[in-house]
Amino acid sequence: MSNSGPDTPLKRQLRDRKDRKAYVDDWALGEDELDGKRSFNLQEKLESDSYSQSYVREMSGSDLTITYLQRHGFSTPLLFREKSGLGLHVPTSNFTVNDVRTCVGSRRMLDVMDVSTQKNFEMAMKEWQRYYEDPNKDKLLNVISLEFSHTKLENYIHTPSIVRQIDWVDCVWPRHLKEAQTDPTNIIDEMFYPKVQKYCLMSVKGCYTDFHIDFGGSSVWYHILRGAKVFWLIPPTEHNMKLYEQWVLSGKQGDIFFGDTVEKCSRITLVEGNTFFIPSGWIHAVYTPKDSLVFGGNFLHSYSIDKQIRVANVEETTKVAQKFRYPFFTEMLWYVLCRYVHVLLGHSHLRDIPDMEPPQKHIHLTALELHGIKAIVTYLHKLPTTKKNIPDLIADPVALIKDVRTLVEQHRHDLPDRSVTGFPVLCNPDMKYGERRLTFIKSFVGHGGKMRRVGPKGPALGAKPKAKAGPRRRRTRCKKCAACHQNDCGECVFCQDMVKFGGSGRAKQTCIMRQCLQPMLPVTAACSICGLDGWGQQLALPVHKLAKDAPSSLMECSVCYEIVHPDCVGKICPDISGQTVSTQVNEDLPNSWECPKCVRDGKNGEYGPRHFRARRKWDQRRKSAASEGGGALKEDDDGPMSDESDSEEMMEEHKSSRIGGHWTFTGDKAPPMKMSKHEPDRLTPPPEQSQRNILDDLRGDMMMSDDDDRDAMTPSPTSSPNMSRPPTPGSPSPLTSQSRGSN
C-alpha cells in the first residue's frame, strides 16, 4: 500500500543508465575483457559471414608511390603481405618485449590500462615485461602508450618511405622545433612537435578495441611483428559518420555492435609480417587473438585534408578530451597554409625564414590538395577566437590568408593529368636533414653518442706516455640480444661501405642493425687497482676462452672510464671509508656505474651521454626520486631477468648489501657516494601572448566559393578542438598530458 497521500507530490524516478563512453582514438581506447560484459557475442562476430565483403586492396610495396597517391588518393585500406618495397625497417620476428625493454630502458614508465576496470595507471617497463611473459595472468592489462622516438629503439624502426615523404610532421612542421625535441617520453608539456610517428603496441590475447576513428583523422601504418589482429572496417561515408556520432553519444556501445548498424562492414585478419595502411576517417574495431607485438604510427597528409577536418568536427561533437586528440592539430593547419604559400608563391610567413623565388614552371595541384586548402581556410575561419591557435612563428596571419586566396585563384583550373608528377608539392624543406640524422645515428649507435676519432691510434706528438698501461679493452658482443643475431641489412651506411655490397670497405664497421644492445666487458679487462680480472684471478695472456659460471665483478665508471672491483673502492677513496654514501648502477649496460670518486668530486653532474643515453635516463630517475621526497632511488625486485642481476650477484660475492638503491659497504670497504640531484636545464616558456581575432575582418576574403567544385567534395567544418598555442623556439609546449592506447 502506498504511503503517499494526496498532498504528497510524486517524484519522477529515473532509471539508471550506463556511463556515457567518450569517443577515443585507436591507441587510446581501452580494450574490454571478454567476460560477458557486452550484450553481443563477439565470438559470433568473429565467425559470421556477414562481414565477408572486403574493402581492402592488396598491393606490393613498390606500387605505393607518390604517383599512386596523386592519381588515386588514399581512400582505401591497403594490405601488404610482405614489407619488401615499402622502405620499412623493423627488427626480426625474434625481437621480444625484453628487447623493447633493453632499448627504452627498464625504468621507462608506461601508461597501462586495467581493462576490467578501465582505469589507467603507470607501470615500469621492467614490470610490464614480467607481466607480459607470465603465462598465469590474473588480470588483463594492455599498454596504451609507448611512443619510442628519441630512444635506441628508434634506430631499429624506419617508417615506410611513402610516410616519410608525405607526413606533415616531416614536410610542414618547422624543422628547428622538431630538432629541439630531446625528451623521449610522451609528456605533451615537453613536446615541440606532434610526437605520434612511432609507437610500439603490446597486447595480450583476448583484447578487443571497440569501433573508433584515429585522432585528428590521421592515417595509420601498422606492422604485425608478432601475433595477429582482426579488423572490422567501415568506410567514412557521410551517412556512416552521422550514425557513428549517434552511436557514441547514445552510451550504448556495450549493447550494440556498430558494424551491424551500417549497410556494409568488412572483416580482415592480419598475421605476422603483414603491413596495413588505414586511410583517414575509417571506422574500425580490432580484436587480438593472441599475444601481439606491433609497430605503427599516425600521420596527417595532403591527400585527405577534408576527411581529417571532418573527423576533427566529429571529435568536437562527441566532446573528446584534449589529451585524446591529435596534438597541435590547429597549429599544423596554419603551418600547412604557410608551406603551400612558400612553395607555390615564394612568400614566407614564418619568422626568420626568407622568401624565395617562385617556381618558373607552374605547378599543378591535385583536386584533393586544392579542395583541402579551401577546407582548411573555412575551418579556421569558423573557429572562435580562443581556438584559432595562431602560431607565434607566423608574423602576419592576415597577409597569409590573402596569399592563400591568391594561390587558390591561380590554381583553380589546374589539370589533373598535369598534377601527377611523382613528386610531392610539400617536400621536406631540408633535404639534407635525413643525411645529418643518419650520420648522427651512425656515430651514436654503439659509441655512446660521441663521434669516433678518425686517424691512427696512440698518443699525439709530444704527449707524455701513460705511466700505467692497463689491459683495458673495448666492450664485446653479448651474443644474446636480438641485434647480435641480426643479419646485415644491406642498406645502412656501413653496409653500403662493405665490399660484399659493392662498397670500398674503408669504414670497417658493423651494420647498424647488428650493433649489440648490451656490450659486455671482455675477459681481458682487469681492475686498475689490484690488477685482477673480474673473477679475482691473475690475468695471463693469451687468455683462453673458458665458460664463466659467475658474471664478472668488475665495474666500469661511465664518467672516468676506470675499471675496478667494488671491494677496491676504499683504495680509490680512502677518505670516505666508513661513511654511508650512494652510487648508481646503470641497469641498461652491464658492469657500468658512477664510481664513488667521481661522485665525490662532482664529476657525475655534467658529462656527455654515453652507453645508450644513460645520462638522460639517470637524470629522469633522479627527478622521479626527488619528487618522491627521497635522495635515493627506490629499488624494485628485479628478479632473474633484470639487467642488474649480474651486478647483484657480484655484490653478494663481495659481501655487500643493496639497501634502497644505496650500496652500503662494511669494514674498510668504501661505501658509494650520495647520488647527485643534478637535473638538466629546462627551457622556460615566454609569457603567454594574447591571440588576435584576425580572421573576422576577412570574412569576404576567406569564404571562397566552391561552386565550380561542389560536385567533387564539399567541406563541412564546424567547431574545432581547443588546442593550445604551439611551442615557440626555446620554450616547452603548454599543452596538457596526452595518452594513447593500443589495439
pLDDT digits (tens, 9 = 90+) for 107-163: 898 888 776 655 678 899 999 999 999 988 888 788 877 889 989 999 999 999 999
Using pLDDT thresholds of 50, 70 and 90, give the confidence band for residue 184.
Answer: confident
Q: Pairing mode, if any, of strands 78-80 and 275-278? A: antiparallel
Q: Which residues contact 367 (CB under 8 A, 6 or more apart)?
A: 416, 419, 709, 712
Task: Name the grid cell of 82.
Answer: 610482405
Residue 693 has pLDDT above 60, yes or no: no
Residue 419 has pLDDT above 50, yes or no: yes
pLDDT tens for each residue of 198-211: 999 999 988 888 89
| pTM, full prediction | 0.60
The confidence score (pLDDT) of residue 340 equals 96
What percent of the chain shows pLDDT beyond 70?
A: 66
Q: How far apart are CA 708 and CA 549, in angstroms?
A: 79
Average of pLDDT values for 64-78? 96
DSSP state of 627: H
Helix (H) or strand (E) holding 556: strand 555-557
The confidence score (pLDDT) of residue 579 equals 55
The confidence score (pLDDT) of residue 699 equals 43
Per the DSSP assignment, residues forming a β-bridge with 430 are none
Looking at per-residue confidence, does 300 or 256 come out higher?
300
Q: How far apart are CA 440 and CA 457, in angstroms?
A: 22
Is the bond leading into 542 cis (omega within 30 degrees of zero)?
yes
Task: Name the grid cell of 601.
Answer: 668530486
Per the DSSP assignment, residues forming a β-bridge with 120 are 113
The confidence score (pLDDT) of residue 534 equals 79
Looking at per-residue confidence, does 82 or 714 come out higher?
82
Side chain identity at residue 118, one-letter code? Q
Residue 706 has pLDDT above 90, yes or no: no
Using pLDDT thresholds of 50, 70 and 90, give the confidence band for residue 639.
Answer: very low
Average of pLDDT values for 22-47? 59
pLDDT tens for each residue of 170-180: 999 999 898 88
Helix (H) or strand (E) holding 403: helix 397-411
C-alpha distances out from residue 687 to 65, 358, 473, 725, 732, Å: 44, 36, 52, 12, 12
Q: Pairing mode, if any, of strands 592-593 and 555-557? A: parallel
Q: How far apart are CA 334 and CA 391, in angstroms?
A: 7
The confidence score (pLDDT) of residue 117 equals 58
Domains, the chain, in order of start with CATH, read 42-324 (2.60.120.650), 329-429 (1.20.58.1360), 527-682 (no CATH)
Q: How far apart are CA 139 and CA 65, in angstroms?
A: 44
What percent of the chain shows pLDDT beyond 90?
A: 38
The confidence score (pLDDT) of residue 548 equals 58
Cα–Cα nearest to 648, from 128, 522, 659: 659
pLDDT tens for each residue of 515-550: 888 888 888 888 888 888 878 777 665 555 455 567
The confidence score (pLDDT) of residue 341 equals 95
The confidence score (pLDDT) of residue 568 equals 82
Task: Name the grid cell of 569.
Answer: 673502492
Rounded mean pLDDT of the chain? 74
Q: How far apart are CA 430 and CA 441, in angstroms?
A: 18
Q: How far apart are CA 645 and CA 56, in angstroms?
A: 48
Average of pLDDT values for 292-316? 96
Residue 257 has pLDDT above 80, yes or no: yes
